[in-house]
Amino acid sequence: MMLFLLKFVISVVALLATFVLLPQFPLGLLRLMLRGVGWVIQKRTQARREAILARVRADEKELLSKQPKSASSNGASADDEDWEKVDTSNGSNSGESSGISGNQTSRQSKNDEWAGIIGFFHPFCNAGGGGERVLWEAVRATQKRWPKAICAIYTGDVDFTKTAMLERVQNRFNIQLHAPTVELLYLSTRKYVQSTMYPYMTLLGQSLGSLIVAYDALTLVAPDIFIDTMGYAFAIGFCKMLFPSVPTGAYVHYPTISTDMLQSLDDKSGLKGVNAGAGTGLKGALKRNYWLAFARLYGWIGSHVDVVMCNSSWTSAHIRTIWGPSRQKPLLSSPSLKYIDPVVVFPPTAVLEIQSTIPVTPKTETNRTPTVLYIAQFRPEKNHPLILRSFARFLERYKEKHPGEEDDDTAAEPQLLLIGTVRPSSPDETHIYNLRLLAHELRIRNNTTFICDASWPTILSHLSTSSIGVNAMWNEHFGICVVEYQAAGLIPVVHDSGGPREDIVVDLPGTEEGGPSGGATGFRARSEEDFASAFEAALALSVEEKVAMRGRARVSSLRFTEEEFSKKWVGEVGKLIGMVSAA
């Protein structure tokens, strides 16, 4: 009880300090003080910076000595050289689109040889989810475009060496990186951004906690460019206050707070996330006002981000709404330039690899079983209970329509397969335990399988044999797994909100010559009944109808390839490098 009261008092004091005391403090004086701190940090980390540069070049030289003579002089592969030939023609890296003037040819040549340090702020880079796929694909694209640049990852995964980390990245995502120019900088303060630290006022607690983690990161080495790829916008603001001339970028997977979150407080259906209907009574009123105040603070943080990338149309719309008013002025790092509008950069998905591995034809329908596949991290927001209940409802109907099938060894009864990552020493372990209990209570234990931390080959195997791919998160920011479903030819059944509704599971327009005709690429649902009915409808399609829908989904998925992500990522990071070169 005493610990509870202590945490509550600390949360209230933090809230007062942020919203009441801070505005009374002269902002100019605060900025001046933080710039002084930043200057000290840069001086103190200079030796470590030089050591990193020396170690990287030594590793490059050692790797080059072990490669055949046909390898490129910088230790990169022939594919890297081809990448440079293609992408150096993209003028976005010259800073042109951000308003930077000067000799474009010489500036572009200078940027091509850029050899600075890009700091990627991603404390949970070993989590194995879609956000981590974005991080590592971004690192790969950066390496190929600027082979001399150093990608420094600020991570709290202190138990993983670089070798082990890169092996896991290749095993989980099939992404092979150039090891010498990847640097892991280990954080000792990651616990301050974990939600378990803040049972109350979690948004504010994690945001303020990210300042501690950001200070930990920046005192390891001050980067030339700072990019947050996990959603800790306050870390970007802190970096900008310490180092005003350091260009900053953000890849926003999900706004820390959005207008949809505020609207969910009044939801009576209970379908709009974990806070649905939480706006009633005194506690609800306090929560609403707290969120509104936090939204204003979050909006101000948006003025500290030079280049903003959003993973979906849904995310971009909310970022424009919340950050937009604060970004109508010159850049903090380059006062002669204006802020750049947020750009939608769809997350990378191994579409081409999946499509080349998993064919979709009438003949391959015999390889597919009536399995409903859900690939998602085992976390509350992914709403696994909704799918368990929906599947139980669907399975009950199925058994009523197919009596005696349990005794038929040749009949394949529908199965539910849940694949996801579980963060060690986290609430995820308790969450999956509760999910197993729920499956037992719903009497679907024999039809439900849980697989934790599956390898990429394992995932590919299940993508090739399942029939339906499901996603149940309300306002899923994008939904990489849904694109994987489409690429593999699964029929997606997704929550009718967020990225899956606005960007992914959309009707295919028109008729492409030699390809599938226009039409639906999947099903969308909201309630248990909706999902159960969608499972039933998808499995009831004829072979011809299934193949046609799978074909349309595969065509639609080509918008989300790794190559498309890399092109856009390089263009946006090129703007940041252009700012460094213009300074």
Residues 512 and 571 placed together within one structural domain of the fold: no
The structure's pTM equals 0.78
What residues of the chain score a pLDDT lower than 50?
A: 1, 3-9, 12, 14-16, 19-23, 71-106, 410, 513-514
Q: What is the dihedral of CA 122, 124, 128, 132, to 10 degrees?
A: -10
Q: Return the structure tokens found at 334.
A: 């380059």
Task: Tell me: do 437 and 544 sit in the same domain.
Answer: yes
CB atoms within 10 A of CB 25: 11
Q: Is 188 exposed, middle or buried (0-12, 13-18, 19+ CB in 10 A)?
A: exposed
- At 576 the pLDDT is 95
Report d(CA 109, CA 88) in Å as an integer.
Answer: 9
CATH code: domain of residue 439: 3.40.50.2000
Q: How far apart are CA 322 and CA 301, in angstroms?
A: 10
- What's the domain range around 120? 82-255+297-348+563-582
Please answer whether residues 349 and 134 qualify as being in contact, where contact means their C-beta atoms are separated by less than 8 angstroms: no
Q: Are residues 333 and 376 in the same domain?
A: no
Structure tokens at 355: 């499509």
- Contact between 202 and 27 (Cβ < 8 Å): no
The pair of three-digit structure tokens given for residue 553, joined into one six-digit string = 């989904």
Give 281-298 as a DSSP string: HHHHHHHHHHHHHHHHHH
Residue 461 lies inside a defined structural domain of this protein? yes
**What letter would DSSP give residue 341?**
P
**8 A C-beta contact, residue 441 and residue 451:** no
CA–CA distance, 219 with 247 (Å, rounded to integer): 17
pLDDT of residue 292: 87
**Domain shared by 301 and 443, yes or no:** no
Q: Say how many domains are in the chain.
A: 2
- Residue 304's nearest CA partner among 217, 214, 221 is 214
Q: Which amino acid is at 526?
A: R
Asked if residue 463 belongs to a domain, the reply is yes
User: What local confidence, expressed as pLDDT, does residue 283 receive?
Assistant: 78
- Tell me, yes or no, whether 287 lies in a domain: no
Do 410 and 552 lie in one domain? The reply is: yes
The predicted pLDDT at position 83 comes to: 37
Contacts of 133 (CB under 8 A, 6+ apart): 173, 175, 347, 348, 349, 480
| CA 57 to each of CA 61, 64, 301, 373, 576: distance values in angstroms, whole numbers, following the listed order | 6, 10, 36, 45, 23
* 275 within domain boundaries: no
